[in-house]
Structure 1
Amino acid sequence: MTTFSHISVQDVANFDGDVAIVDIRDPQSYANGHMPNASPLNNDNFSAFVENTPKDTPVVVVCYHGISSQQAAQVIAQQGFAEVYSMDGGFEAWRANQSVVTE
């Protein structure tokens, strides 16, 4: 069974190479602040993400605190992606130590 791994904020910040960072928080929270290069992911664009993202691209799933991202990461892993991560601590942990982009 395909599954996901946990990844730390620091490891995401230091990630070398292509990575798809998907933010599953609500649109208002995303607009108020998100990780650089993160894309919002929700039910409306999920199938497009699966179709348009190469399956060998590592995917990092981000939520508020690293809880709901685990379930989402599992679903994404089941779509055939080779590397899927749930970021421990979520966006709140990222915001405490890293730069944030607002719209």
Structure 2
Amino acid sequence: MTDNQSSFKHMQVNDLHAVLENKSHVVVDIRDETSFSNGRITDAIHLTNENLADFVREADLDAPVVVCCYHGHSSQQAAQFLLSQDFTEVYSLDGGFTQWQLQYPDNISR
């Protein structure tokens, strides 16, 4: 994990796996509906343009949020956006769901 106060942080898949055991982080998945339905990190919230405003309004802004996409690229922009919405601790999942699926095939919900 890297530290930069004005920017999101990066999280490795193995680090996310470790913190998910204590349910301290919120995982949001920004992939398309079909991909999300076919498999996602357990307890991940599907974040779309349609539910983004509700998520921002209802979320605990101090809870750590990890943004997941396909490979860890689009999640960086989404993570930066969430920081701009006053979330205090936001991560982009390096390697995205593709890496998660390779390392933790048993930790996928459908």
Which secondary structure does the structure 1 equivalent of 2:40 belong to?
coil
**TM-score scaled by structure 2?**
0.89
Percentage identity across paired residues of the two chains: 44
Give the superposition deviation at 1:51: 0.7
Distance of 1:29 and 1:35 partners within structure 2: 11
For structure 1, list consecutive stretches of 5 or more residues without a partner in the other structure: none
Distance of 1:46 and 1:85 partners within structure 2: 17
* Matched ranges for 1:12-91 at <5 A: 12-15=16-19, 16-91=22-97
Conserved in 2, the CA contact under 8 Å of 1:66 and 1:86? yes
Which secondary structure does the structure 2 equivalent of 1:22 belong to?
strand
Give the superposition deviation at 1:20: 1.1
Distance of 2:63 and 2:47 partners within structure 1: 16
- The aligned amino acid for 2:108 is V
Give the superposition deviation at 1:75: 0.2
| Correspondence for 2:14 | 10
Distance of 1:90 and 1:8 partners within structure 2: 9
Q: Relative contact order: is structure 1 or structure 2 higher (C-alpha 8 Å, sep ≥ 6)? A: 1
Distance of 1:53 and 1:20 partners within structure 2: 9
Deviations 1:56-103 (A, max 9, x none): 11000000000000000000011111100000000000000112111x
Greater Cα shift, 53-62 or 10-19: 10-19
Conserved in 2, the CA contact under 8 Å of 1:59 and 1:84? yes
**TM-score scaled by structure 1?**
0.95
Distance of 2:70 and 2:93 partners within structure 1: 10
Moved over 4 A (4+): none
